[in-house]
Structures are given as C-alpha cells and as structure tokens.
Chain A
Amino acid sequence: MTVLDAIEKSGFKVLNLSDDAEEREISGVYCCDLLSVVMSKCFENAAWVTIMANVNSVAVATLTEMSCIILADGAAIDEIMITKAKQQGITVVQSDKPIFETALKINQLVNANA
C-alpha cells in the first residue's frame, strides 16, 4: 500500500506530505523511540511510529530511507521538524492514539491491501 493511500484511510493528521507519497510503498511498520536503536534496526520504506517529534527524527528517517513518520500519542510538534521534513521530502503524520494502537491501525491497513 502506498503512503498516500494508508494515510488517507488512517485518518491521521497530515503535517507534511512528500511529493512521492503517491508512489512510495510502505514495506512494514516499525516502532521505537531510541534513535540509535532505530538507526540500526529499522528497514527501508518502513512506516515509523514514534513519539520523538523533533528534527533528529527527520534526519534518521531520511538516512535510513523510511517511507514516513507517524507521530503517536499526539506528540507535541516542533515547527523546525516540519520545516526539515519539507526540505528533506519526508511525509509526517500525527495520531492522537498511543503507539501500539497507532501501529496496529497502520499495520492492518498495510496488510489488508498486501
């Protein structure tokens, strides 16, 4: 399922939509908040569910080529993060549900269309 498709169906709030959201496929769901662990363990085109809403999350997502960042638990948004996400072309959305429920929802959407 593409990033755009998943986001539209999820109802999550869009903070930044990248130009490639329409074509980019989500390969799976990954959850973790410790950036060095994420760097090592996440995978390409993952939809990354985290509460780390800051500019470093964008750097990590870009470097590891994840498909999008899903901020869970209504994490407070840092304006600099969104500016960076626009620059780097990374999709960022926000969910008001906790990490598990957020990840479950996106996983169900991705699997339903697999």
Chain B
Amino acid sequence: MSSMKLHYDVDNTDFTRAGEASSDTKKKLKLMGVSPEVVRKVAISMYEGEINMVIHANGGTIDVTISSDNIVLVLKDEGPGIANIDKAMEAGYSTANENIRSLGFGAGMGLPNMKKYSDEMNVKSEIGVGTTVTITIYNELT
C-alpha cells in the first residue's frame, strides 16, 4: 500500500462541523481495508484532538498520513497553548467552561483517551503560540 495523505482545516468553534474530519478519515480507512481495531483507535484519537482544537484553540489543521506501517496524525493549532502538559494529561483535568460542559464535553478525558488509544503520542505546546499533538497508530495491515 502506498502512503496516502489527507489534510483538514478545522473550523473555529463551529460545533455543527466538529467531528467531520474524523468521520471522513474513518470512512477512508474502512474503504482501504484497515482493521476495525485500528480504525477505532484512529477515530477516537482524532475525534478527541479535533474537538480539543475547536473548544480550546479556535480551530486548526489536521494532517493524516496513512501507510502500511502506521497512521500518523498531526493536529496543529495556534490557540492559547497548554501551560502544564502533565496536568492536562491527567484524567479528569479540564478547564472547559459551563457552556462547553453543557454540550457533553469537559470530562477531562480527551487527552487521556488519545494517549490510551494511540501507540505513540507527543504534545508540544507554547503559551500564546499554539499546540501540536502528533499521534502514531500502528497499522496491522501489511
């Protein structure tokens, strides 16, 4: 399988479109015959990252590279950045406001889910500059 690249611009604070990038990638992976377990891992990690971009960072971009070895997601935003990454990674930690919580977000489980369902995860963030999350999920298909 040759590698395939996908690019998405994630709209800022448009909740009605949130999840569209993840849904699109998921459909493409299924069509390519990627195993259901891998598809699920990508769908969960990418959705959580996409939503974080919308609710915490005014949108951003997602680049997906699919190859026979792995699926790499690069989620990049120019939002406020994360002051304490270790704290943000803790289950239950959230700065989501009431309005966002009323939509079902803010359990503080997004980053922990991304960690749990990815094989490699790297978070780079700088206050006032933005955040880039890079996720690698091994592809079982060879």
Contacts and interface: CB of A to CB of B under 8 A. Distances in A.
A59 B19 CA distance: 6
Contacts of B105: 35-36, 56
A39 B117 CA distance: 11
- For A33, A34, A36, A60, the residue with the greatest tally of chain B CB atoms inside 10 Å of its CB is A36
Interface string A31-74: 00111110110000000001010111101101110000000000
A63 B19 contact: yes
Nearest to B108: A36
B76 interface: no
A97 interface: no
- For A33, A35, A55, the residue with the greatest tally of chain B CB atoms inside 10 Å of its CB is A35
A80 interface: yes
Interface string B85-111: 000000000000000000111111110
A56 B15 CA distance: 7
Using C-beta atoms within 8 Å of the partner chain, give the interface range for chain A: 20 to 34
What DSSP secondary structure best describes chain B's contact surface?
helix
Contacts of A80: 16
Using C-beta atoms within 8 Å of the partner chain, give the interface range for chain B: 20 to 34
Contacts of B104: 33-35, 50, 52, 54, 56-57
A52 B23 contact: no
A64 B43 contact: yes
Nearest to A35: B104
Contacts of A59: 18-20, 22-23, 47
Given A36-B113, A63-B26, A64-B43, A84 B16 contact: yes
Closest 6 CB pairs of A and B: A59-B19, A36-B109, A34-B107, A35-B104, A52-B104, A63-B43
Interface of A: 33-37, 39-40, 50, 52, 54-57, 59-60, 62-64, 80, 84, 88
23 contacts: A33-B104, A35-B105, A35-B107, A36-B48, A36-B105, A36-B108, A36-B110, A36-B113, A39-B44, A40-B44, A40-B109, A40-B113, A52-B103, A55-B18, A56-B104, A59-B18, A59-B19, A59-B22, A60-B19, A63-B19, A63-B23, A63-B44, A64-B44
Given A40-B44, A56-B105, 8 more contacts: A33-B104, A34-B104, A36-B48, A36-B105, A40-B117, A56-B104, A59-B20, A64-B40
